[in-house]
Structure 1
Amino acid sequence: MNALSNYSIRDEIRDFWSERAATFDQGVGHEIFSEAERRGWHRLIEKHLGKGDGRPLLDLACGTGVISHLMADMGFAVTGLDWSEAMLEEARTKAARRKSGIRFIMRDAENTGERDDSYAAITNRHLVWTLVDVPAAFAEWFRLLKPGGALLIVDGNMGKRSWVSRLHTGFNMLARRPEPRGNLGPEMAERLKRIREQVWFCDGMPAEAVVALLKDAGFVDCVIDRNLWDIHFSQARKMPFWRAAERLASDRFVICARKPGAVYLDKPTMQSITGL
C-alpha cells in the first residue's frame, strides 16, 4: 500500500466527496430516477433485511441520504453517518423536504463513536472500496451490531474491467479518441485515480475477498448476491449507450452477513409475531 499516512488519504477521500456533494444527486446510480429502480431497491432490502418494523439501522457513508431514505421507506429507524459535512448538508435538506425522521451524524465510518450493540442492521453503498483499513472497519461494524444483527454491503469490483469496457477502449483507440472519464473532469478523475491507488482494495475488490475479511471479523452466514438486474436495468435506461452497457456488464454485488447470536427483534416486531 502507499506510504502516505492514514490521515492523509482519509482527508483526501473526505475532501473529494465533499466537492462532489452539490451535484452528487444528478448522477444516475446515485439518486433514484424511476419508480422501477425504487421497487428494485425495496425488493433487495426486504430480501436480505426484512421489514424495518422500527428497528434501528445505521447507514454508513450515507452521502446525500439516498439509501437512508430507502431504508426509512421500509420502516427502519435510520441513522445516516458520513464524514463529509457538505454531503450531510444535502442529506439534511432532502430529509427536511421529505419530512423524514432520519438522524444524521458526522463521523468516520471506520471509527463511529457509537455504542456497542446499538443497531439491528448496518448498510452501506460504495463504501468498502474506499476504506483504508478494512479489517478495522469490519471489527467496528461487528461491535455496533446487536447479536443476530445484519450487515448489508452494496458495492462492486470497480477495478475489474468488463468486456464492455475493453471493447469501448478498442473503439476509442481506432477512432483516436481519449479514454472516457465518466462524469468527472480531468482534475477530479486524476484525484480519484490517486485515491484508488491508496485504499485497501487498490488491486481490485472481488466479493470473495470481502467475505473472507468479514469472516475474519466474526461475521457468519455470509451471502453474495449478484441478482441486481432490475436495479441496473432501470439505471441503464437513463444512461448513454456505453455507460449503460458498462453498468449491465460490471461486477457489482450485495453481501449480507450476520453477527452471531439470537436474531434481534424489537418490541413492534415481537408483537407482530406473537400477537401480544
Structure 2
Amino acid sequence: MTVRGNFDLRDEIQAFWSDRAASFDDFPGHEIFSERERRAWHDLLSRHLGPAAGRGVLDLASGTGVVSHLLDDLGFRVTGLDWSEPMLERARRKAADRGRAIAFRLGDAERILEADESFDAIVTRHLVWTLVDPAACFAEWLRVLKPGGMLLIVDGDFVGQGAGERLLMRIEAFARRHGLARDRGPALSAELAGRHRSILSRVHFSGGARAEDVAALLAEASFAGITVDRRLGAIHRAQGRHMPLLKGLARQVQHRYAIRATKPPI
C-alpha cells in the first residue's frame, strides 16, 4: 500500500476494504452460501423491520450488496451506500446479473449526502466495529431517518473472546500443531491481516464493540426503543456448515448481536 501525506485512519479503512473487495464474497459470513442462511437472514430482517410495503431502506457500508439483496428479496426499496469503489463495482455487477433494481452509491457512513428524513429504515452489518467516531455517525443516521424510522445494526465484538471461544481456539491450535486440522478455509494474506489488526487497534471500539456500549451511544444520540437481540443462532449455524468445524463452533459462541432502535416520532 502506498503511504500518502495526510493518509489518516479513515483513509486506511477505506483502502483496506477496497483491497478486500476482490475476495470479499469468498468468505462464509460475508456472501450467502445456502438457502438455509438466506431464510435465517430474512427472518431476522423481518422480525425487526416488519413488512416491507415498499419502504425505502439504506444499506450502510453495503459492500458487494449482500444485505441489499436480502432486503430486496423482502420487497424493500433499497439504496446501498459504500465508500469503496471496488466494492461498489462488484455490487453493481452482481445486481445487474441478478436483475435487481438496487441503487448503489458512493458515500461515507459518517457524512451521508442525502436529505434529512430520506429513509424509512437503515440497516448495517459489521460496520459499527470499524467506526472512528460512532457518535458523529449515529447523529447522521438519525438525521436521514424519517420520524419513527428504524435502525437495525448487526455486529459483534471481534476482539474479546469468551471462555467457550478461548477453549475452541486452544483445541484448534493443538490440532494444527499435531497435523490434525488442515482445512482452514479462505484466509487473509499476512499483509491484509496485519493491516486489519492495525486498524482494529485504533478505532473507537478497539476493545471490542459490545452490545451494551453501542446501545448506550445510540441512546446518547437520541434514538429510542433500543433493543438488543442475541437470537442469531440460525444464521451462525448455517454459516458454520461452510466453515472448518472449530471455526464454525466459535461463530456460535461469539458476542454477536442485532440492535434495533427507532427515531422518535415528531
Taking structure 1 as the reference length, what is the TM-score of the superposition? 0.88
Aligned partners of 1:164 and 1:245 also within 8 Å: no
The amino acid of 1:224's aligned partner reads V
Which deviations, in whole Å up to 9, do the C-alpha atoms of 1:40-60 show, x marking residues without a partner? 111111111012111111000
Unmatched segments (≥5 aa) in structure 2: 178-183
In 2, Cα distance between the equivalents of 1:7 and 1:215?
A: 32
Taking the TM superposition and a 5 Å limit, the aligned residue runs for 1:1-276 are: 8-171=8-171, 177=177, 183-261=187-265
In 2, Cα distance between the equivalents of 1:38 and 1:234?
A: 9
Aligned partners of 1:159 and 1:203 also within 8 Å: yes
The amino acid of 1:166's aligned partner reads R
In 2, Cα distance between the equivalents of 1:78 and 1:144?
A: 14
- With over 3 angstroms needed to count, the CA separation of the structure-2 counterparts of 1:117 and 1:232, relative to structure 1, is same
| SS, match of residue 101 in structure 1 | coil
- With over 3 angstroms needed to count, the CA separation of the structure-2 counterparts of 1:181 and 1:244, relative to structure 1, is closer
- With over 3 angstroms needed to count, the CA separation of the structure-2 counterparts of 1:66 and 1:181, relative to structure 1, is closer
The amino acid of 2:9's aligned partner reads I
In 1, Cα distance between the equivalents of 2:212 and 2:202?
A: 21
| SS, match of residue 124 in structure 1 | strand
Which deviations, in whole Å up to 9, do the C-alpha atoms of 1:60-110 show, x marking residues without a partner? 000000000111111111000000000000000000001111001001111
Aligned partners of 1:163 and 1:249 also within 8 Å: no
Please give the root-mean-square deviation of Cα atoms over the aligned residues, in Å.
2.0
Q: Which moved more, 1:32-41 or 1:6-15?
A: 6-15
Number of corresponding residues: 257
- With over 3 angstroms needed to count, the CA separation of the structure-2 counterparts of 1:11 and 1:234, relative to structure 1, is same
In 2, Cα distance between the equivalents of 1:32 and 1:138?
A: 27
- With over 3 angstroms needed to count, the CA separation of the structure-2 counterparts of 1:172 and 1:38, relative to structure 1, is closer
Aligned-pair distance for 1:176?
8.0
| SS, match of residue 112 in structure 1 | coil
Aligned partners of 2:185 and 2:243 also within 8 Å: no
The amino acid of 1:73's aligned partner reads D
Which deviations, in whole Å up to 9, do the C-alpha atoms of 1:112-153 show, x marking residues without a partner? 111100000000100000000000000000000000000000
- With over 3 angstroms needed to count, the CA separation of the structure-2 counterparts of 1:6 and 1:174, relative to structure 1, is same
Aligned-pair distance for 1:158?
1.1
Q: Which moved more, 1:160-169 or 1:57-66?
A: 160-169
Which deviations, in whole Å up to 9, do the C-alpha atoms of 1:177-214 show, x marking residues without a partner? 4xx89711221111100000110111111101000000
Aligned-pair distance for 1:170?
2.9
In 1, Cα distance between the equivalents of 2:185 and 2:10?
A: 23
Taking structure 2 as the reference length, what is the TM-score of the superposition? 0.92
In 1, Cα distance between the equivalents of 2:29 and 2:173?
A: 27
Unmatched segments (≥5 aa) in structure 1: 263-276
- With over 3 angstroms needed to count, the CA separation of the structure-2 counterparts of 1:71 and 1:174, relative to structure 1, is closer
- With over 3 angstroms needed to count, the CA separation of the structure-2 counterparts of 1:184 and 1:114, relative to structure 1, is same
Aligned-pair distance for 1:6?
9.4
In 1, Cα distance between the equivalents of 2:149 and 2:217?
A: 18
| SS, match of residue 78 in structure 1 | strand
- After TM superposition, what 4+ stretches of structure 1 lie above 4 angstroms from structure 2? 172-177
Percent of aligned pairs with the same amino acid: 52
